[in-house]
Amino acid sequence: MKALSVSDILDGKKILLIIGGGIAAYKCLDLIRRLKERGVEIQAILTKGGAEFVTPLSVSSLTENKVYQDLFSLTDEAEMGHIRLSRENDLILVAPASADLMAKMATGITDNLATTTLLATNKPVMIAPTMNSQMWGNKATQHNLSVLKTRGILVIPPADGDLACGEVGTGRLAEVADMITGIEAFFLSSSDSSLLGRKITVTAGPTFEAIDPVRYIANHSSGKQGYAIANALRQMGADVTLISGPTNLKTPTGVNSINIRSAREMMNEVEKSLPSDALICVAAVADWYVKDVAKEKIKKQDGKIPTLNFAENPDILKTISNHKTKRPRLVIGFAAETHKVSEYAKNKLKNKGCDWIVANDISGDVMGGDNNQVYLIRAESMESWPKMSKDHVAQKLALEIEDYFKEFK
Ligand code: CTP
């Protein structure tokens, strides 16, 4: 099994971790360990709220550095210690970012060391919010969030699930692995990513195959995984065209989106998007379309059941994988399986002629859900990834693609 080779992007980086108040502050201790394993040097500011949940001793033991807590107790404040702290790191990460901290950042309040440092910095800032789901959904928090985003603050979004307050909803601090992937993606995008300017086409969502003017045949694909992949690739500098069937999702910022309905329209748009460096077929394309679509709505006729005649849709992945002149250098397909996942996926790799297959086990709540458990299959290897969020799968896959294109820089 191939070891992931992307984690060395963090080696030698300096991160200032601001630990806000919140029960999830305990996750920061593990985050510090995982970052240290990857060669990151960490300084930490522990806010008053943060110190209610983790001790300065545990933070300093793990970071192997002094922990800063109070604006006026910095021994070297005469040398403007908060300015120095805010400038000498490559990234400032606020985790957990409480509603209060986000509000203070949005309005520029500087009433403690953390907020003063955040106002004084000229370095990139990333926040990992966590709070009760009502607080997260509150217009005040959402407004603050959009203010912070427009100022270029990077956000590792909170996850859905059980909250410490006993409620269920959005507001859990992202898992440590998700935070690490977000940090890796940030450093990759701001470095010499091999994806900078590469043209990548992504298909996503379901296709709708018309029966008559009001009816169609579709499937349960939400498009979430494809959109997340388009977003992750864009964040790493790629020039992404997302060709999508009907979904309820917002086009990720900076992604060129083309909306289609049927498989044949999708095929057409994919061909138009070529030449491109990579094609990632995430869409759940219908295998058949209805021949002779009725021009008018088919009416009920006294128990007479209409018969639909089908014809086969073009197989986009297979066609482009076997294209004589315009085959992208890297072609990736998805395989949705309910059983014998890896065996069927390996066969699919051969049949379709693509380079990699991401096989997902759809026996659970994958279609429409937020999590995914996948295998990454190449001709010579197979990796099994643990169950993780679709955003995390997207970032990991984008990191693998970035790794692949390094050779062709
Ligand atoms: N695909 C495509 N065009 C099609 C059908 C599928 O591009 N007409 C792509 C999908 O986007 C996905 C992969 O092919 O990347 C899935 O292959 P498919 O043969 O549809 O497999 P499954 O849907 O998994 O179905 P089955 O196991 O029944 O073959």
Catalytic residue among 28, 165, 281, 354: 165
- Give the closest residue to 5 by CA, choosing from 408, 399, 405, 329: 399
User: Whole-angstrom Cα distance, residue 381 to residue 175?
Assistant: 27
Q: State the pLDDT at residue 324.
A: 94
Higher confidence at residue 70 or residue 258?
258
The answer, yes or no, to whether residue 302 has pLDDT greater than 90, is no
**Is-contact 348 335, C-beta < 8 A?**
yes
Question: Does residue 18 lie in a domain region?
Answer: yes
pLDDT of residue 65: 94
My answer on whether 184 and 221 are in the same domain is no
Phi-psi region of 22 (alpha: psi -120 to 50; beta: other; left: phi over 0): left
- pTM assigned to the model: 0.72
- Residue 194 placed within a domain: no
State whether 337 and 249 are in the same domain: yes
Residue 175 belongs to a domain with what CATH number?
3.40.50.1950
Taking CA atoms only, the protein residue closest to ligand 1 atom 9 is: 317
Q: Where residue 265 falls among pLDDT bands split at 50, 70, 90?
A: very high
Q: Is the pLDDT of residue 298 over 80?
A: yes
Classify 140 as helix, strand or coil: helix
Kindly state whether residues 217 and 185 are assigned to the same domain.
no
208 and 355 co-located in one domain: yes
**Confidence at residue 289, expressed as pLDDT on a 0 to 100 scale:** 98
pLDDT at 1: 31
Which residue is listed with tokens 């996850």? Answer: 159
Atom of ligand 1 nearest to the CA of 334: 15
Cis bond leading into 213, ω under 30°?
Answer: no
Residue 102 has pLDDT above 60, yes or no: yes
266 lines ligand 1 (CB under 6 A): no
Residue 402 has pLDDT above 50, yes or no: yes
Same structural domain for residues 182 and 305?
no
Q: Identify residue 365 by its one-letter amino acid code.
A: D
pLDDT, one tens digit per residue, over 38-71 is 999 999 999 999 999 999 999 999 999 999 998 7
Distance 360 CA to ligand 1 centre (A): 12
Give the pLDDT confidence score for residue 340 in this predicted structure.
87
pLDDT reading at 4 higher than 80: no
Mean pLDDT within 379-404: 91
Model confidence at 161, pLDDT cuts 50, 70, 90, reads confident
**Cα 210 to the chain's mean position, in Å?**
32
Q: Which of 266, 269, 312, 315 to mutate to test the pocket of ligand 1 (most atoms within 8 A of CB)?
A: 315
Identify whether 7 is part of a domain: no
The tokens for 98 are: 């409480």
Gap from CA of 335 to ligand 1 centroid (Å): 6
What single DSSP character describes residue 43? Answer: E
Residues 246 and 325 in one domain: yes
Q: Say if 22 falls within a structural domain.
A: yes
Domain boundary residue among 146, 169, 189? 189
* Same domain membership, residue 286 and residue 178: no
Ligand 1 pocket, residue 349 CB under 6 Å: no
Considering the domain architecture, whether residues 144 and 282 belong to the same structural domain is answered as no
For the chain, the distance separating the N- and C-terminal CA atoms, rounded to the nearest angstrom, is 25
- Is the separation of the CB atoms in 123 and 87 below 8 Å? yes
Establish whether 165 is a catalytic residue: yes
CATH number assigned to the domain comprising residue 317: 3.40.50.10300
Per-residue pLDDT at 136 exceeds 50 = yes
The count of structural domains within the chain is 2
Burial class (CB in 10 A: 0-12, 13-18, 19+), 328: buried
For residue 72, what is the DSSP state? G
Given a contact cutoff of 8 angstroms between Cβ atoms, the answer to whether 117 and 85 are in contact is: yes
Same domain, 181 and 249: no
Beta strands, E only, 91-167: 91-97, 125-129, 154-155, 159-162
Q: Around Cβ 307, how many Cβ atoms within 10 Å?
A: 5
Q: 234 pLDDT exceeds 70?
A: yes
- Positive or negative, the CA dihedral 219, 221, 226, 231 is positive
Query: What is the overall mean pLDDT for the chain?
Result: 90
The reply to whether 211 and 130 lie within a common domain is no
In this structure, the strands spanning 278-281 and 154-155 are unpaired
Examine the domain organization and report whether 212 and 301 are in the same domain.
yes
Asked if residue 232 is part of any domain, the answer here is: yes
Domain residues for the domain of 74 are: 14-189
Q: Is the pLDDT of residue 184 over 90?
A: no
DSSP string, 251-275: PPTT-EEEE--SHHHHHHHHHHH-S
Domain shared by 146 and 209, yes or no: no
Q: Which of 136, 155, 189 is the last residue of a domain?
A: 189
**Nearest C-alpha to atom 12 of ligand 1 is from which residue?**
334
Among candidate residues 171, 189, 207, the one where a domain is terminated: 189
Which of 288, 261, 271 minimizes the C-alpha distance to 207? 261
pLDDT at 288 over 50: yes
pLDDT for 3 = 33
Determine which of 63-67, 172-176, 215-219, 359-363 has the lowest per-residue pLDDT on average.
359-363
For residue 42, what are the β-bridge partners? 15
Q: Is residue 1 part of a domain?
A: no
Whether residue 79 has pLDDT greater than 60: no
Is a pLDDT exceeding 60 seen at residue 176?
yes
Asked if the structure places residue 80 within a domain, the reply is yes
The answer to whether the beta carbons of residues 350 and 373 sit under 8 Å apart is no
Q: Is residue 32 part of a domain?
A: yes
Cα(131) to centroid(ligand 1), Å:
40
Q: Using 50, 70 and 90 to split pLDDT, how confident is the model at 94?
A: very high
- Is the pLDDT at 6 greater than 80, yes or no? no
Does ligand 1 have an atom closer than 6 angstroms to the CB of 283?
yes
DSSP string computed for 170-205: EEEPPPHHHHHHHHHHHHHHTTT-TTTT-EEEEEES
105-109, 185-189, 347-351, 381-385: segment of lowest average pLDDT? 185-189
* Residue 81 CA neighbour count, 13 Å, CB half: 17
- Residue 364's pLDDT band (boundaries 50, 70, 90)? low
| Contact yes or no for 401/276 (Cβ under 8 A) | no
Is residue 332 in contact with ligand 1, taking CB distance under 6 Å?
no
